[in-house]
Structure 1
Amino acid sequence: MEQTAIPYVFMRGGTSRGPYFNRADLPADRETLAEVLIAVLGSGHANNIDGLGGGVAVTTKVAMLSPSDDDWAEVDYFFAQVSVEDRLVDFKPTCGNILSGVGPAAIELGLVRPTGDETEVKIRAVNTGAKVLARVQTPGGAMRYDGDAEIAGVPGTAAPIALNFMGVVGSSTGAFLPTGHLHDEFDGIEVTCMDVAMPMVIARAQDFGLTGYESAAELDANTEFFARMEAVRLKAGAAMGMGDVSKSVTPKFGLLAPAKAGGTIATRYFMPWNTHPSMAVTGAQCLASCALTPGTVADGLLERPTTSPASVVLEHASGTIEVLVDFEMNNHFTLNSAGLLRTARKLADGRVYVPASVWKGR
């Protein structure tokens, strides 16, 4: 079989992992690009046995990087979510965990040069238009991956990567509240539909007969809950102006409950057809914004911080994640920026091969 070789860097970004490409090394048209990414990840088999995927949604993600023509940004980050089994590629959402590796990958791919012991990388997330300032450790002008930073869902420690997200309100739908309401009701479930970094449908766990403290495995085994949740998500997606979302991973779904481990609020996040083992960076920003906004489904579940910036600690399925939120509260909640601490690690580099019948290369 004749094959096409494509250069790549394989990285863990936050609690996700996947290949990072120079966009110039991939097909220009979306249809061929989707087929190439399906072949790279091995979508179509539960174990992704014929590709680099790991058999779960957090390991079938792709980052494509290129020099940015934006006046502010240096690097454009184009994200793709590849399905595990269905041979689908969704170019609509972004991923904040994979974004954690964009700064290091841009340096590894030669798109950005280190500027000292710490390098700032200005990133535009092209899927949503969000702008992110990443600070990565580059002592002596070289990428550093070892360090003392620890994040839930990843074993051990690594060098810290500080992310500051700007321009994330209405990133997909154009509105903080895509339906125009703080509350909506679908199939008897009260929800808040919000678009901050990621469009989400957010509900109280108790309204589904859940505690909100269930493990990811317990939730994944609850097929009745998933059926009810998906029905609500489809109706909410239409009400948010997103059309038929039955084959799209957005809007995502989130559940809220009172904190029980010293955090601000307990959360569960869905991708959306299974439970996230920890928490998405984008989802964390949206859930933190919902928690801080009076009149949402978060009412009564927490004692809201009143001063900005506020530290919002979200308890999730494998620990906690802290979001530092800069906001204003006049007649309504206004998000200025959200900051998070993540880590990343280079796992491999070289060339990945796809059948020439899929793409013959440039």
Structure 2
Amino acid sequence: MRGGTSRGPYFRSEWLPSDIAKRDRVLLAAMGSPHELQIDGLGGANSLTSKVAIVSRSQQPGCDVDYLFAQVSVDRALVDTRPNCGNMLSGVGPFAIDQGIVTGQPGQTKVRIYNVNTRSTIDALVQTPDGHTEYEGDASIDGVPGTGAPIRLDFLDAWGAVTGKVFPTGSMRDIIDGVEVTCIDAAMPLMVVRAASLGKLGNETPAELDADAAFMERLESLRREAGRLMGLGDVSDSVIPKPVLVSAGAHAGMVVSRYFTPLKCHRSHAVTGAIGVATAFVTPGTVAYDLGAPRPAGMHRIEVAHPSGRIDVDVDLRGTANSLEVCGAGLIRTARKIMEGQLYLPAHLF
């Protein structure tokens, strides 16, 4: 399935080995990793198309399904289940309904999803006019051709879900190797840095950023130290925290973002990353806050501009003028079911 601007196979958990090491070997073989072209599997030779969703009936009270996300490295024998992926999350509700894990309702069906990776809860509102998933529609998202049925995702408790605190270092700003950054855990652990602090404008293309080897090396060095400061330990073999460059947008409600996955710049943007960027953008004291304008408590729509367009994030800002914090966020995605069938793997894996 395509979920948002990502793509990969969706498995029911019982279709995979219960042993984690064996499961990871199966996922590597399924995607064709490690190989730069993933020629022997389903992967698309890019981190955005080397993702896996594992879905099961939820073990959590009040939730419908459990969703475990796996980022499968393209060129290394590595499966990382530490982060969430909000784009692949877009397909979890439709998959659960199609599989009969959740019974579709006439009109719309709300699927409450527990993300196992980050221990957070998300509501997905799926279009089911006749009780079955409707994939066709008029909603469009930047980075994906055509249109589809809208899927509303509401993140209910993703703030501090991985590290235990929204600002895990205890500060809204830290200085790493002379560079001011904000380390934030809001739907996804991020290291947010102003583009200008690293000599960039912020509107560079992903190809331009990827080609600047000195910049990429500096960014990765900062990311690894940010991971240590955030209590994540040695993150050299992990995709979190994700580094993000931010700069001012065309108006006070827009922030320009360049999101890294983390060793390449995203051709569009991660959903969870957009929520983290929007949270930093409206929270006083972060490196992103001064790029916009002060906002009172209430609901605000923030435009996160990325290389393929933008993501509109609705943030629920609560508190007083001196103590504002984001307590919820939502956005629209689409998904497409591409194929359903049997995947063949080498017998020696089993």
Q: Does residue 1:179 correspond to 2:169, yes or no?
A: yes
Equivalent position SS for 1:111:
coil
Residues 156-305 of structure 1: matches in 2 within 5 Å?
156-260=146-250, 264-305=254-295
Look up the equivalent residue of 1:39 and give its one-letter code. Answer: A
Cα distance in 1 between the residues matched to 2:279 and 2:210: 26
Cα distance in 1 between the residues matched to 2:253 and 2:16: 43
8 Å Cα contact 1:37-1:82 kept in structure 2: yes
- The CA deviation at 1:335 is 2.0
Look up the equivalent residue of 2:271 and give its one-letter code. Answer: V
Look up the equivalent residue of 2:307 and give its one-letter code. Answer: A
Look up the equivalent residue of 1:296 and give its one-letter code. Answer: T
Structure 2: runs of 5 or more not aligned: none
Structure 1: runs of 5 or more not aligned: 1-10
Tell me how many residue pairs correspond in the alignment: 349
- The CA deviation at 1:262 is 8.0
Cα distance in 2 between the residues matched to 1:309 and 1:240: 29
**1:3 is matched with which residue?**
none
Cα distance in 2 between the residues matched to 1:166 and 1:113: 22
Which of 68, 78, 89 is the matching residue for 1:88?
A: 78
- The CA deviation at 1:263 is 5.2
Cα distance in 2 between the residues matched to 1:263 and 1:318: 18
TM-score, normalised to structure 1's length?
0.94
**1:5 is matched with which residue?**
none
**1:335 is matched with which residue?**
326
- The CA deviation at 1:21 is 0.4
Q: Deviations over 1:117-166 (max 9, x none)?
A: 21111100011111111011111122111110010000011000001001
Q: Does residue 1:132 correspond to 2:122, yes or no?
A: yes
- The CA deviation at 1:29 is 1.4
Q: Does residue 1:347 correspond to 2:338, yes or no?
A: yes
Cα distance in 2 between the residues matched to 1:242 and 1:307: 32
Cα distance in 1 between the residues matched to 2:313 and 2:279: 10
Q: Deviations over 1:308-342 (max 9, x none)?
A: 11111111111010100012132423222100100
**2:25 is matched with which residue?**
35
**1:314 is matched with which residue?**
304
Residues 62-81 of structure 1: matches in 2 within 5 Å?
62-81=52-71
8 Å Cα contact 2:98-2:132 kept in structure 1: no
Which sits farther off after the overlay, 209-218 or 302-311? 302-311
Equivalent position SS for 1:171:
coil
8 Å Cα contact 1:117-1:138 kept in structure 2: yes
Cα distance in 1 between the residues matched to 2:76 and 2:51: 14
Cα distance in 1 between the residues matched to 2:77 and 2:236: 15
8 Å Cα contact 1:263-1:320 kept in structure 2: no
- The CA deviation at 1:306 is 2.3
Point out which structure has higher relative CO (alpha carbons under 8 A, 6+ apart): 1
Q: Deviations over 1:31-54 (max 9, x none)?
A: 111100000001111111000000
Q: Does residue 1:17 correspond to 2:4, yes or no?
A: no
Q: Deviations over 1:61-101 (max 9, x none)?
A: 00000001211100000110000111110011110000000
TM-score, normalised to structure 2's length?
0.98
Cα distance in 2 between the residues matched to 1:332 and 1:255: 25
8 Å Cα contact 1:191-1:297 kept in structure 2: yes
- Percent identity of the aligned residues? 48
Look up the equivalent residue of 1:313 and give its one-letter code. Answer: E
- The CA deviation at 1:260 is 3.1
- The CA deviation at 1:300 is 2.6
Cα distance in 2 between the residues matched to 1:321 and 1:147: 18
